[in-house]
Structure 1
């Protein structure tokens, strides 16, 4: 494995160049080392089932999906070449108050050149990410794929969402191979009362480590005009993981709940992970280009290629006393503020200009 590591004051990261996954992300916080991103326990093992995509073999941290899910327009592995093949380092440079590193995918995607830029800033508990596509033809669905470990579960909170929906196909339909908690297909405008497989309801904001299930649900951003955010208060880790986006670029947040609900290798019933996948996508490349249910809801599910497109996401974490996530996340000049239901607040250094909220000419 070839890894490129880089750091700024109080924060470090590394990219696995063989597949473009973030192999390491560490934040120094009050004498602790916070590690918000998950790394699969089977990496470096030589007894994996044959035929797994490289992106599963080396499953780590966060990565770019292009397309998201099935590559059924241009031949590629699950989640596309950006998640399964080599990237080249093209720049590693000091910037004012931090470090910027850029990479280029060796494969082209629908004829487009794909580049990844990762930025760490001194004293900021965040990894700032941008992906760009230059040239190409047709259209591409995309998603970021950050994953956080949920050893003892936790609680979730979100920027306003107008609905949540599961796809038609059950994640694990064979009870000998896995288990699912949610109903398929189903939808709800109340995330705390989502239809369950047993006919009841379940709370999507509660990640209960005791329940073994494999599920996938898409959250559609409401039109609130602000930053999109997901906050995950992790119980065992005593922290809050934050995933931030511009909804104009990435209008959906797809939750991959892999809580020991796959009984076969390499999962073996042990995963305990939450994927927070902000994207512009339906499930599969062809579906994203077609007349899918999200388009019927007025949601874009692909970028048109040919010129230059770019989208950004931010991932970070901070220590958290108590088990509840913030009820509000808001930006201030140079700061990010978390507001909790008890009235308490936390602020940390933050580049509030990075996500380009409200800019009229988004690429």
Structure 2
């Protein structure tokens, strides 16, 4: 049975697969209960258990150690790197495997051991109520010295009508569009930069405004905001609340946005996946360990893309998801 927490301000569960947050519901000051996080539409359908690990019950929020995947999509020459460490499963071993999960008084806890040949020995994770939301902790226990891309992966629910959600990313540095030539439709020009989400370079010329979602046309976009402030807000005026993500920007200096706007047609997506991934990270997008741990265009611009982990020295961070009234 999945462990859950219920308190005056809300409820949350922690599923064993991926240690993903499940069913987070938070109360606003006026007593309304809102559900800020997303659950994939197939997650509870018959046949979902046959999907690859991370997709099987995709929901909520989870840690990614290491972050990313070995992306098969073509990359520009300047993103090509020499042979590096193989990445392994998409978004890391722990995102695809079953954790040990339990309730410890007023918090939920989880841990997982990595394979013996992995540079990471184990992860631990906790979830506890805090004012207006929940606070998560993540601890990485390295087996040996290594440099890895790391992220946490909240996925927020979007309203259905186009343009009804407003993104407030806070202060940030240069914005980069994803360099890969993705097979999914994307309105953005690959491997480009901008200073504002409102004026991202368009694939067919002009600019694209990503401050209001969903977009009218089906698409999939990945965007990296460098030097992010550590606070992101998503306004949902139709339901009268703001979802807020706070994190330590010294641990995760960048923020990747995954705008999943019904753009993936193959199963299990089937043109029905509508959500916003808001992913604090130290990584070169989601391009995997080989690229993130080596010299790449982001590092040459001064942006760190991997965390240096030391054997015997646990690495820890904490972050918070909450809601506020509009």
Contact residue 199 and residue 209 of structure 2 kept, 8 A: yes
Q: Distance in 1 between matches of 2:240 and 2:141?
A: 41
Matches within 5 A, 1:261-280: 261-280=263-282
Instruction: Report if aligned partners of 2:245, 2:322 keep a CA contact under 8 Å in 1.
Output: yes
Q: Give 1:55 deviation, angstroms.
A: 0.8
3-state DSSP class of the match of 1:162?
Answer: coil
Q: CA deviation at 1:8?
A: 2.7
User: Which residue, 112, 129, 133 being the options, matches 2:140?
Assistant: 133
Counterpart selection for 2:154 from 119, 127, 146: 146
Residue number in structure 2 paired with 1:318: 324
* CA deviation after TM superposition for structure 1 residue 218, in Å: 0.4
- Counterpart position of 2:77: none
2:173 is matched with 162
Report the Cα offset of residue 18 of structure 1. 2.3
Instruction: Give the equivalent residue in structure 2 for 1:240.
Output: 242
Q: Of the candidates 287, 295, 300, which is equivalent to residue 304 of structure 2?
A: 300
Distance in structure 2 (CA, Å) of the matches to 1:19 and 1:49: 14
Cα distance, 1:74–1:119 mapped onto 2, change above 3 Å: farther
Matches of 1:201 and 1:209, distance apart in 2:
13
- How far residue 208 of structure 1 moved from its aligned partner, in angstroms, is 3.5
What is the aligned length? 302
Distance 1:216 1:39 in 2: 19
Q: Which consecutive residues of structure 1, in runs of 5 or more, have no partner in the other structure?
A: 94-98, 321-363
Which shows bigger deviation, 30-39 or 208-217? 208-217
Distance of 2:266 and 2:49 partners within structure 1 = 10
Deviations 1:9-64 (A, max 9, x none): 212110111221111101122231111100011013234596x4211111100011
1:284-308 Cα offsets, whole Å, 9 max, x none, are: 1111111022212222222222111
How many Å apart are 1:235 and its aligned residue?
3.8
TM superposition score normalised by structure 1: 0.78
- Shift of the 74–20 alpha-carbon distance from structure 1 to 2, 3 Å rule, reads farther
Q: Aligned partners of 2:37 and 2:277: how far apart in 1?
A: 10
For residue 161 of structure 1, report the CA deviation from its aligned partner: 1.0
Unaligned residue ranges in structure 2 (runs of 5+): 71-83
Alignment of 1:84-233 (within 5 A): 84-89=96-101, 92-93=104-105, 99-108=106-115, 110-121=119-130, 124-137=131-144, 138-151=146-159, 152=161, 153-171=164-182, 173=183, 178-221=184-227, 228-233=230-235
Query: What pairs with 1:8-47 in structure 2 (closer than 5 Å)?
Result: 8-29=7-28, 30-47=30-47
Find the residue that maps to 2:244 and give its secondary structure.
strand
What do the CA deviations read for 1:213-234 (whole angstroms, capped 9, x no partner)? 1110100126xxxx51111112
Whether the 8 Å contact between 1:7 and 1:120 is mirrored in structure 2 is no
Which range is displaced more, 230-239 or 213-222? Answer: 230-239
Higher relative contact order (CA 8 A, sep 6+): 2
| 2:95 maps to which of 61, 69, 83 | 83
| Residue 73 in structure 1 maps to residue 85 in structure 2 | yes
Deviation >6 Å, runs of 4+: none
CA RMSD of aligned residues (A): 2.0
Paired residue secondary structure (1:82): helix
Determine which structure has the larger strand proportion and give its number.
Answer: 1
Q: Secondary structure at the match of 1:3?
A: coil
Partner Cα separation in structure 1 for residue 193 and residue 142 of structure 2: 37
Residue 290 of structure 2 aligns to a residue in which SS? Answer: helix
Aligned to 2:74: none
Change (3 A) 1:91 1:32: closer
- Larger mean CA deviation between 239-248 and 39-48 belongs to 39-48
